[in-house]
Amino acid sequence: MQDELIKWVAAGLKKPGKKKGELSRVLGRSPSTVTDILKGTRRIAITEIPLIAAYLEEPPPAIPGIDFRLGSEVQLTSEGRLLPVTVVGPVQAGAFIPIDEFDQSEPEIFYEPADPDFPRARRTAFDVIGDSMNRLEPAPILPGSRVIGVNYEDIGIPLRDKMVVVVQQERDGGHLREWSVKQIELLDEEIVFHPRSSNPRHKPIVVPRNLKPDDGRQVQILALVREIKNRVPVF
């Protein structure tokens, strides 16, 4: 069965605009993941098939004993249908952690209706650690919240003041990475990513308008935050 899945992925990647690196990112994996899949050295997990189908815009091959009708219907252009959201990991301001290029754990995937404003955009979710956005208005993002965002490169709109985004900073040549939620302020020559917090230790990220600071950092906007979900504890 894996051979058929590999052929499916290889054929889908021949379509215009489809790239191995982008598919790896959709899966929330290292850039070499899809290369390893095509070589046969890395298996495709069952939970990854709907995400691959969504990106390639191709239904998966039939697998005996498994009903993939939901997966085969996943389309980036669909409205009113449940589409996959991948939980990428935690966001925590100030926490630079090593990037594990060999992580083979399966990402959590859940399904939500298409975003009405960005129905073609892929979506990712992040679990919030810490209090760096606990005074965001009009809705605070509290520790333990889950934010759902549309992938910024998919939405095709310029940055605007007061947008709430997930921003990535990398250091040490990409070996250390921080993901955090911030609110944007656009200045003439700089972009300021503000924490909105009651805790004064959280500081803004200030970068040139081209997102290319000269201090060795790499800065990228990953997602525009669209939803905030909070779980109510059971007492």
Kindly list the domain boundaries of the chain, sorted by start residue.
Answer: 1-74, 77-235
Given a contact cutoff of 8 angstroms between Cβ atoms, the answer to whether 186 and 161 are in contact is yes
Distances from the Cα of 201 to the Cαs of 130, 131, 145, 197, in angstroms? 11, 10, 20, 9
Band of residue 54 on the pLDDT scale cut at 50, 70, 90 = confident
What are the residues whose beta carbons fall under 8 Å from the beta carbon of 233, sequence distance 6 or more? none
- Name the more confident of 192 and 32: 192
Q: Tokens 């990712």 belong to which residue? A: 124
Other beta carbons less than 10 A from residue 92's beta carbon? 19
Instruction: Please tell me the distance from the alpha carbon of residue 179 to that of residue 168, in angstroms, as a whole number.
Output: 5
Mutual angle of helices 2-12 and 49-56, in 10-degree steps: 30
Given a contact cutoff of 8 angstroms between Cβ atoms, the answer to whether 74 and 122 are in contact is no
Q: Which two tokens stand for residue 93?
A: 């301001």
Band of residue 106 on the pLDDT scale cut at 50, 70, 90 = low
Given a contact cutoff of 8 angstroms between Cβ atoms, the answer to whether 122 and 55 are in contact is yes
1-74: CATH topology is 434 Repressor (Amino-terminal Domain) (1.10.260)
- What confidence score (pLDDT) does residue 220 get? 92
Q: What is the mean pLDDT of residues 97-114?
A: 70
For the 77-235 domain, the top CATH level (class) is mainly beta
Q: Which two tokens stand for residue 73?
A: 């219907």
- What confidence score (pLDDT) does residue 1 get? 67
Say whether pTM exceeds 0.75: no
- Name the more confident of 97 and 39: 39
Does 100 score more than 70 pLDDT? no
116-141 per-position pLDDT tens digit: 898 888 899 999 999 999 999 999 99
Given a contact cutoff of 8 angstroms between Cβ atoms, the answer to whether 18 and 55 are in contact is yes
Q: Across the chain, what does the average pLDDT equal?
A: 84
Does 45 score more than 90 pLDDT? no
Q: Tokens 């995400």 belong to which residue? A: 51
Q: What is the mean pLDDT of residues 87-97?
A: 87
- Phi and psi at 10, nearest 5°, equal -60, -40
Q: Which two tokens stand for residue 133?
A: 């956005």
